[in-house]
Amino acid sequence: MPPLESTANRLRGNPVTKRKSKGAYMISAVAEMYGIHPQTLRLYEREGLLKPSRTEGNTRLYTDEDLLRLEFILSLARDLGVNIAGMAIILQMRERMEEMQRQIQEFVQYIQKEVLTRASAAADPSRGAIVPVRRPVVGPVQPKKH
């Protein structure tokens, strides 16, 4: 899947690609960055849409991955008018699709490997044979003695 970039973010001229840090952001900074109330972020967490990590002092920390997910959630809400229950279903379906895509990629790799193995076995029948093929060793013909 291509990287996500919300319409709201594009309209603000703040594309995801400009966010280069690998740090974590506190709830107030995230709320300010996206123009939402911190309670909205808490609601999204309570509903299971976001899962920020926590410090030892129990402060929420949002990673870049969390922010990408938030941008997708905000896009669903702002651009498409999806409610929280709909967001949960869409996010769950999206996760399932990503898992199925990963499984399909693994399966395709397995099939490719199997095809190559069988093709090389077909080139040399003794390698892929269940029962080894014994080829007679033909030496020089010696004249018979009378």
User: Could you read off the pLDDT of 99-131 as tens digits, one per residue?
Assistant: 999 999 999 999 999 998 888 877 766 655 566
Tell me the pLDDT band of 28, cut-offs 50, 70 and 90.
very high
Q: How many domains does the chain have?
A: 2
Entry pTM: 0.64
Residues 111 and 44 in one domain: no
Residues 78 and 104 in one domain: no
Across the range 131-141, mean pLDDT stands at: 67
Residues 69 and 14 in one domain: yes
**Listed residues 96, 116, 134: the one ending a domain:** 96
Tell whether 24 is covered by a domain.
Answer: yes
Tell whether 138 is covered by a domain.
Answer: no
Domain membership of residue 55 as a residue range: 7-96
Residues 14 and 69 in one domain: yes
Residues 83 and 116 in one domain: no
Residues 62 and 110 in one domain: no
Q: Does pLDDT of 4 surpass 50? A: no
Token digits of residue 46: 């309570």
- Interval 53-106: pLDDT, tens: 999 999 999 999 999 999 999 999 999 999 999 999 999 999 999 999 999 999
pLDDT at 16: 42
Tell me the pLDDT band of 139, cut-offs 50, 70 and 90.
low
Tell whether 136 is covered by a domain.
Answer: no
pLDDT at 141: 67
